Amino acid sequence: MAWRLCKRMGALFALVGSLAGAIAQPALEIRWMLGGAWREVSDIAFSPTDDIVAVSSYNKISLHDFSTRGVIREIASPPNQFYRAIAYSSDGQWLAAALESSVALYDARRGVQVWTRSLGSDSPTAIAVSPNGEYLAVGARGLNRVYLLRRSDGSIVRQWSHHTREVSSVHFTPDSEHVVSAAPDGEVCIWNVNGVSLVRRYSFGAIPDCQSALSPDGQLLALVGFTDNTVRLISLSTGAPIASLQTPARALRAAFTPDGQHLAVGVSLPQPGVHVWRLSDLTRLYPPYPDTDTPDASVTVVAFSPDGQYWIEASENSLLPIRRLDTGARVDNLLRMRDELPVLQLSHDLRTVYAGSPSTGRLYQWDCFTGAPVAPEFQERSGVASLAIDPTGQWIAIALRDTNAVAVRERATYAPWLEIPVGNSSLRTGSALGFSPDGSRLYAAPWARGGVAVWRLLSDGVLFERAIGAGGRQAAYAPNGRYIAALTTDQFAIWDAETGARLAVLGSPSFPWGVLSLNFSPDGRALAIVGFNNRLYVWRWQENVLHEITVNGSPRGAAFTADGRALAVSSSNRSLRFWRTDTWQSWVEFGGLMTDAHTLLFSSDGKHLVLGRADGAVAVARNPFYPDLNGDGVVDDADLLIVLLNFGNSGTNLLGDVNYDGTVDDADLLAVLLVFGQ
């Protein structure tokens, strides 16, 4: 018992020390994230020593735990730079990146940049780390050189010139003594790390989409990108061809398994896919795949896990399928959603996050605190437009995008109960769904006949009762279930959910293009509106008072905290700012979102903040105003002690400053005591 207490106290003081020198702008405490990718994936690299896979795409690198698929960390690119290629060191400690106009080295386990290096007139295109960890090899375009950089400080040790086109691939031999480079000019060059002259070169004619892969033993080089749709296996020591493998379309990327026994090749349109050969007898194993989940775009990246049991393939708009080498079957996707805004909902017991894909119709259930899946994924026959869970927890309603219907299923099993036709060909289903507080009614908007449709749920089906309002292009339901806000033509109105009576109308401004976000306060008395005009409004409809809030950047989403004391607003500057609802004064801003969060959802117990990002990522963060300061899931003595240890301190971003007023005082102590034990 004493040992456990000492351990907790040690962790507590470590936490105090680690946050003592924090920056002025606090960052959200992300508990877990399942991430999307932004635009095209440029490269994938597995850590040789950890169960981590790095994915570079556009302006960020996402580090995923391969076993859980969760995002551990994200690394942003410098301003106006984009990631082209990444490579791990053999000890997994360093992650090297080729960017638009520089080379960067990161501490892979902390996500911290160690150094960055410009190549002057050259722009990096390819990168590799030597097996002994001493050097980086960088291929470039512009001057078309190959650079040797010292890993410790980024200094340029060698510059080699021979290629007449951009250097598309670079590799180190296993002994770290030579660098191999390839380019679309058809030249394969071998350079001595300790010399300035070319050791050997081999010519193969022009290779328009040249890429190469070096076998783990350094004996074979696989060349792809030929116009005759072949993959050439070359002896690195002699340049002699070993084999020519045929693909149905141009091969774009190649990868050897870690044991060197297999070769995988990504193929372009119109025959996209990954072809795998067993090299001992040159037998092609795949395709065909045992399933029909094939990419609809050229496969541009292929990477094998360190144990060689799985590969990940990337195409322009894929979810990064993970396939087994022994069967070729897709076992999972590294990404759940990509380049789309997830549809999110919380279960009423606050233990489960539901997420739906607007494009694929996949539905997921994750533990709210850990992110672990609590049920297998389920796929609807159409994309998900919105979700609602009835208060009894028995049913889940799913608005199906482009099928003009709402499916009602058993929440635990997704077993179908009924399907309700809602929309029509010109007015698509499901900007919003909601159940009445007693679970006896289902509301849906927009409806084919206009307004918000109300159905009474019966034991053997549903009975249409009425339509509330007219138009109803977008709608929101108050948490207390008493009110409905609906956008009719271009104006908002508030309706009584029980009687259908209109209670208030917002005279101006108008919203002819609809809105990005629409949320009631917990008591239903205020409505936060984010318009497509990049403006944020709060309408206190009972007093007919409209507040316009100026946001730094363009507002994306808005939501009230569970106690109604604050309004959280995400914006295009990748931050989350809170406003006090009593004065509408700015309170505190949190950074580190990496990508715009469009959906914000606070749990009713005040503990969690669920975020949906435009790149397809779903994250759960600690509500920064909930005083679980050590993140163990309960407000207890440890959190009280944090406040007491810092009591009386003043400054910015203070540990124990629960209300972010710049001083750890009685108000912070009271905030902990009010929810103590929860």
Q: Cβ of 481: how many Cβ atoms within 10 Å? A: 19
Residue owning tokens 């990522």 = 617
CATH for 336-505 (3.40.50.720, 1.10.287.610, 2.60.120.200, 2.130.10.10): 2.130.10.10
Residue that wins the pLDDT comparison between 657 and 86: 86
Q: Determine the average pLDDT of the residues in 441-460.
A: 83
Which tens digits make up the pLDDT trace of 579-618?
999 999 998 898 767 677 889 999 998 899 999 998 899 9
Q: At what angle do helices 637-645 and 2-19 cross, to 10 degrees?
A: 40
Domain ranges (residues) in the chain: 223-334, 336-505, 509-626, 637-674
pLDDT at position 35: 83
User: Cα 502 to chain center, whole Å?
Assistant: 40
Report how far apart, in Å, the C-alpha atoms of 620 and of each of 28, 342, 432, 595, 597 are.
10, 13, 22, 14, 12
Can you give the pLDDT at residue 25? 65
Peptide bond into 446 cis (omega under 30): yes
Q: E strands along 35-111, which residues?
A: 41-46, 52-57, 60-65, 71-76, 83-88, 94-99, 102-107
Q: What is the pLDDT of residues 257-309, one digit of tens each?
A: 999 999 999 999 888 889 999 999 999 998 877 665 566 788 999 999 999 99
pLDDT bin (cut points 50, 70, 90) of residue 566 is very high
Q: What is the pLDDT of residue 429?
A: 45
Q: What is the pLDDT of residue 471?
A: 60
As a whole number, mean pLDDT of residues 557-579 equals: 91
Position 8 scores a pLDDT of 38
CA atoms within 13 A on the CB side of 231: 30
pLDDT at residue 143 in the model? 95
Helix, strand, coil share of the chain (percent; to 5): 5, 45, 45
Residue 16 has pLDDT above 50, yes or no: no
- Residue with the two structure tokens 């060197």: 260
Higher pLDDT, 581 or 27: 581
Q: What's the confidence (pLDDT) of residue 200?
A: 94
641 or 449: which carries more pLDDT confidence? 641
- Closest Cα to residue 520, out of 541, 498, 545? 541
Question: What whole-number percentage of the chain has pLDDT above 70?
Answer: 93
Spatial distance between the Cα atoms of 224 and 186, rounded to a whole number of angstroms: 11
Separation CA 573–CA 590 (nearest Å):
11
CA-based Rg of the chain, rounded to a whole angstrom?
28
Lateral strand order in the sheet of 432-435: 432-435, 441-445, 452-458, 461-468
**Over residues 33-55, mean pLDDT:** 91
- Examine the pLDDT at 23 and tell me if it is beyond 70: no
Kindly tell me if the per-residue pLDDT of 427 is higher than 90.
Answer: no
223-334 folds as: Methylamine Dehydrogenase; Chain H (2.130.10)
Query: What CATH homologous superfamily does 509-626 map to?
Result: YVTN repeat-like/Quinoprotein amine dehydrogenase (2.130.10.10)
Give the pLDDT band of residue 575 (cuts 50, 70, 90): confident
The pTM of this model reads 0.87
Q: Categorize the per-residue pLDDT at 64 as very low, low, confident or very high, splitting at 50, 70 and 90.
A: very high
What is the average pLDDT value for the chain, to the nearest integer? 88
Closest CA to 404 of 445, 461, 372, 344: 445
Chain centroid, CA 20 distance in Å: 30
**Residues 348-406: tens digit of each pLDDT:** 889 999 999 998 899 999 999 999 999 999 999 889 989 999 998 899 999 888 777 89
Q: How far is CA 344 from CA 36, 158, 409, 528, in A?
A: 15, 52, 17, 18
Query: DSSP secondary structure string, 415-455?
Result: -EEEEEE--BTTB-S-SEEEE-TTS-EEEEES-TTSSEEEE
pLDDT for 460: 85
- The confidence band for 470, taking pLDDT boundaries of 50, 70 and 90, is low
Query: H helices then E strands: how many in the chain?
Result: 3, 56
What mean pLDDT do residues 56-83 have? 91
Instruction: Tell me whether domains 336-505 and 509-626 share a fold.
Output: yes
Residue 629 above 80 pLDDT?
yes
